Amino acid sequence: MSFVITLYTREGIVMASDSRLTLNAQQKTPQGEQTLLAAGMSDSNYKTFLADGKIGVSTFGKADIQGAPISGYIDTFIREHLSSQPTVTGLAQELNQHFRAFEPLPDVGFHVAGYEETDNRSKQMVYKVAPNRNSVEQVNPDRPNGEPSHGATWGGEGDILARLLQPVYTKDNNGNFKKMPHYQIPWNFFTLQDSIDFAVYAIRTTIDSVRFLPRPKTVGGPIDVLVIKPNETMWISRKQLIKN
């Protein structure tokens, strides 16, 4: 599994992901019981990519296709199968069709984000793509007044972050529930730096939490962060190949 997050705020788009590659395996005990093992194979896996110099793609879910890391398949798609000068919408649709051609259908999901020129302005477009459901869904439609929406979407091991952000109730001795103080995040006030900080916080909190919980350690390693603005893209952090 993985944890990826995409934030879309007034100043730009931030996409971030962890780096752990985990493979599931079953082990049979002497008593004949089946045990599911999540083996961490690598902390140098790429999950966020830049296509055509302007569109971000993040992947989560199944880590391999036909026995090889999915990162290589995404690189090949961007290099060999992507149409020239794609739009964000077009890339999301092409990505969906490309991975639907695999047999069996891979249980993977994608975020696709960037800017499109619409009505003489650069418009943020953020999509969730799920090839196994043949789904290409825009997650940031304009608000009813026509203004762009701001927020965040994430995929993979998102239960830890969801618990932090959702309303919580406590139960007293009489069985009555009392709502604890809850503060919604004002996404519309986020600066670009706030977005970067939140993306890193979300992934780092997930990594640190799974470390102490009796659950598979499926999120970990360095955090890659990509920033997309209307006329500029930049890697805030990106794993580099090194010679040991």
The full DSSP string for 102-115 is: SSSPP-EEEEEEEE
Q: Which domains occur in the chain, in start order?
A: 3-237 (3.60.20.10)
Looking at every residue in the chain, the average pLDDT score rounds to 92
Q: What is the pLDDT of residue 67?
A: 83
Q: What band does 26 get if pLDDT is binned at 50, 70 and 90?
A: low
pTM of the predicted protein model? 0.92
Q: What is the pLDDT of residue 24?
A: 63
Which strand (E) or helix (H) includes residue 153? strand 151-156
pLDDT greater at residue 22 or residue 128 = 128
Q: What is the mean pLDDT of residues 136-159?
A: 95
Q: What band does 38 get if pLDDT is binned at 50, 70 and 90?
A: low
Position 27 pLDDT exceeds 80: no
Q: What is the pLDDT of residue 119?
A: 79
Q: What band does 39 get if pLDDT is binned at 50, 70 and 90?
A: low
Distance CA 149, CA 5 (A): 16
Position 35 pLDDT exceeds 70: no
Render 97-143 in DSSP notation, one character per residue. Answer: HHHHTSSSPP-EEEEEEEEEEETTEEEEEEEEEEGGGTEEEES-PPP
pLDDT greater at residue 223 or residue 30 = 223
In our burial notation (b when 16+ CB lie closer than 10 A, e otherwise), range 147-173 reads: eeebebbbbbbbebbeeeeeeeeeeee
